[in-house]
């Protein structure tokens, strides 16, 4: 029986430059995150399993997807929740075929764990701390032995690139299990936080194409910058327990762009929003409307806060467009 310690890393000593070159190519597909990419890549190339910790929308899936695609191995994604049983992780014999053919290896439908083991993929368990103890135990066994035994199927050995990668939001403590020390002891840990404003603008521009000439340049740039500024402000607001990730900024920019098109707004205007400046007011109004759509469900208030998500957004909007207009200048 092999153990994790003996698992072949993704590199061989005959090609020491390989990881560095792969690192370079993967870096081109991810905005920023150089350090996190180095750490995740080093851990998986060393044959280790990892827990990625960070709030939603902080590039965890993006990093893994980029690495898995570069290595041409599957990224098998599952959600950690009460439904994730050991039986679901492993798979099952197709009941209709069992009636006709009896238990055959051919009529076994691989679950995500078996698929990742056979194909040498990353088994990526989102919300790892919501998985049941039974599911965690099944995973830990597969990680330690690189082999599982399934009733009526026999033993399945993991291909060398099989890895288990969990992700979790460290601020998420409703309905989650505190992972035991023995679980933590089997994982390496990489923690991620929000990126800076410039990186978030680059991400929103990349994902929305709003600065690629689809809309007037000044409008596209303003939409991206304002969406990022308002979204980031939700993370700083005193009544907010968890603000929105860059996902909210992407949606805000896209919804606002549609509103501007419907309302025939071609330019964002500049400076403080005033009653006299009709163009600036109409643009800013559309951004506020879009913020309601994109962000109100994504911000989680402190339990005791005597306010609503909509009121918080209005406050943030006022600060950005009226009280502190310098912050509303693009760039
Ligand atoms: N560093 C980044 N580079 C490019 N896109 C990113 C980056 N970080 C986040 N995104 C984009 O933001 C969204 C959320 O990122 P994701 O990786 O799915 O977050 P997580 O898995 O941490 O919840 C996706 O649409 C993704 O494309
Ligand atoms: Mg994700």
- Residue 74: the pLDDT is 96
Q: Look up the CATH number of the domain holding residue 267.
A: 1.10.8.80
pLDDT at 268 (0 to 100): 96
Closest CA to 257 of 223, 230, 207: 223
Centroid of ligand 2 to alpha carbon of 200 (angstroms): 16
Atom 18 in ligand 1: residue holding the nearest Cα: 61
Residue 58 Cβ < 6 Å to ligand 1: yes
Hey, which of 68, 167, 200, 203 would you mutate to test ligand 1's pocket, going by the most ligand atoms within 8 Å of its Cβ?
203
* CATH code of the domain containing 64: 3.40.50.300
Are residues 176 and 221 located together in one domain of the fold?
Answer: no
Which of residues 152, 172, 191 is at a domain's end?
191
Which segments of the chain are extended strands (E)?
50-53, 75-79, 91-93, 108-110, 122-126, 147-150, 154-157, 163-168, 188-191, 240-242, 300-301
Domain co-membership, 159 together with 287:
no
pLDDT at 14 (0 to 100): 55
Q: Is the same domain home to 216 and 143?
A: no
Determine the average pLDDT of the residues in 236-246: 96
Identify whether residues 162 and 222 lie together within a single domain.
no
| Domain boundary residue, one of 191, 208, 229 | 191
The per-residue pLDDT for range 211-221, each reduced to its tens digit, is: 999 899 999 99
Residue with tokens 């406050």, as numbered in its chain? 315
What number is the average pLDDT over the span 49-56?
95
Ligand 2 midpoint to CA 40 (Å): 15
Q: How confident is the model at residue 327 (pLDDT cuts 50, 70, 90)?
A: low
On whether both 206 and 252 belong to a single domain, the answer is yes
Residue whose CA is at the smallest distance from ligand 1 atom 25: 247
Count structural domains, the chain.
2
Of the chain, the percentage scoring pLDDT greater than 90 comes to 80
Inform me whether the pLDDT recorded for 178 exceeds 90: no
Same domain, 119 and 266: no
267-283 confidence digits (pLDDT tens): 999 999 988 889 999 99
SS3 188: strand
Looking at the DSSP bridge assignments, the partners of residue 75 are: 122
pLDDT at 262 > cutoff 90: yes
CA–CA–CA angle 196, 199, 203 (5° rounding):
135
Helix (H, G, I), strand (E, B) or coil at 144: helix
Is the pLDDT at 325 greater than 50? The verdict is yes
What pLDDT, on a 0 to 100 scale, did the predictor assign at position 320?
96
Residue finishing a domain among 141, 169, 191: 191
Statement to judge: residues 87 and 139 lie in one domain:
yes
Domain that holds residue 235: 197-328
Same domain for 123 and 216? no
């Amino acid at each position: 029986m092999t153990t994790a310690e003996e698992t072949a890393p993704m590199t061989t000593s005959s090609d020491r430059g390989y990881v560095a070159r792969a690192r370079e190519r993967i870096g081109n597909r991810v905005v920023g995150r150089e350090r996190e990419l180095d750490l995740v890549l080093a851990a998986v190339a060393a044959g280790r399993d990892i827990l990625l910790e960070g709030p939603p929308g902080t590039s965890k899936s993006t990093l893994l997807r980029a690495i898995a695609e570069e290595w041409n191995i599957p990224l098998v994604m599952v959600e950690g929740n009460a439904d994730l049983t050991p039986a679901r992780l492993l798979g099952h014999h197709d009941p209709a075929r069992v009636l006709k053919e009896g238990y055959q290896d051919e009529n076994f439908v691989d679950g995500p764990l078996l698929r990742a083991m056979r194909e040498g993929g990353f088994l990526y368990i989102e919300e790892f701390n919501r998985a049941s103890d039974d599911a965690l135990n099944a995973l830990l066994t597969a990680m330690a032995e690189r082999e599982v035994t399934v009733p009526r199927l026999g033993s399945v050995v993991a291909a060398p690139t099989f890895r288990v990668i969990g992700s979790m939001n460290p601020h998420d403590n409703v309905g989650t299990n505190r992972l035991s020390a023995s679980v933590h002891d089997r994982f390496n840990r990489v923690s991620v936080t929000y990126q800076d404003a410039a990186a978030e603008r680059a991400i929103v521009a990349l994902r929305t194409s709003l600065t690629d000439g689809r809309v007037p340049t000044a409008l596209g740039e303003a939409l991206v910058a304002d969406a990022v500024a308002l979204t980031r402000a939700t993370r700083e607001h005193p009544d907010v327990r968890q603000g929105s990730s860059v996902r909210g900024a992407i949606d805000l920019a896209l919804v606002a762009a549609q509103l501007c098109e419907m309302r025939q707004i071609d330019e964002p205007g500049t400076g403080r929003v005033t009653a006299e400046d009709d163009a600036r007011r109409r643009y800013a109004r559309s951004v506020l409307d879009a913020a309601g759509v994109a962000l109100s469900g994504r911000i989680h208030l402190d339990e005791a806060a005597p306010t609503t998500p909509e009121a918080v957004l209005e406050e943030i909007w006022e600060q950005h467009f009226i009280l502190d207009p310098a912050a509303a200048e693009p760039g």
